[in-house]
Amino acid sequence: MDLKLAGRKALITGGSRGIGKAVTRALLAEGVECVICGRSCESLEVTAKALAEEAGRPVHAHVADVRDRRSLEALVAFAAERMGGIDILVNNAARVSGGEPEDFARVDEAMVLRDFEEKFLGYLRCSRLVAPYMQAKGWGRIINISGYAARMAGNLSAGARNASVVHLTKSLSIELGRHGINVNAIYPGMTVTETLTARAAHMASQANRTPAEQLQLLAAQQAIGRLVDASEIAHVVAFLASPLAAGITGEAIAVTGGVGHHVTY
């Protein structure tokens, strides 16, 4: 299917690894010009070079920290100047939850504040900075990577920050819709990335299992009997970024492989 994205310009935050890297790869395959950002210059350069070799054209990289307003201002200015505009924003840069305790008794207040500074305010700042370029064209797509913790009780910081992203998504969709800008969110569940692979190895060592056995146990929790790969998240992002998804806005779409027994309607 032709997603009719050729020639569009995208900015992907947290693009050096994991879901952000997979999203960049998927958009490049559709003919989208991409700028990726991250906090590590070395990781960015390695990823940009690898993806550029795959796609046969440049991938622009810029070091930025979404917790720093001036850093984001410089990022967006760089992206708009380098590509001649910004049509698509994928807000993805954030801590991967699950590595620290987040229950009522042990959740760290500093982590909660950091999470909101990074994810909610980071996404809001990026959207505010990018929106004028989209409004000038009368077309744009903002896709916010939230997280399935928004629908689950227990992990207090991850749940709250991801729920806040859903609220932000709906609010932006209402404010920006008249300008031809669609705003949606995606709930990834447990997704195969470099972080999950490392975490599974650690969990396996504590439980006297092999990493493969640990991953099998995690996969058994999904309705499809396997873990979702980052590329499968990226395919949904690419569709939501396309003109073909014009009728979808203000929504949060779960791409989890069918985890849990929740019924939503």
Strand order in the sheet with 60-63: 60-63, 33-38, 9-13, 88-91, 140-145, 181-188, 252-255
Query: What are the pLDDT digits (tens) for 22-54?
Result: 999 999 999 999 999 999 899 999 999 999 999
The amino acid present at 90, given as its one-letter code, is V
pLDDT of residue 152: 65
pLDDT at 225 over 80: yes
pLDDT of residue 184: 98
- The label of the residue with tokens 């900015």 reads 11
In the chain the domains, ranked by start, together with CATH numbers, are 9-190+229-255 (3.40.50.720)
pLDDT of residue 31: 97
Kindly report the CA angle at 214 between 208 and 219, in degrees rounded to 5? 160
User: Which pTM was predicted?
Assistant: 0.91
pLDDT of residue 198: 74
Query: What are the pLDDT digits (tens) for 154-212?
Result: 677 777 888 999 999 999 999 999 999 999 999 998 787 777 777 767 677 777 888 88
For 78, 102, 185, 200, the CA distances from 196, given in Å and listed in that order, are 32, 18, 21, 6
Query: What are the pLDDT digits (tens) for 104-146?
Result: 777 778 878 888 899 999 999 999 999 999 999 999 999 999 9
Alpha carbon of residue 145 to chain centroid: 4
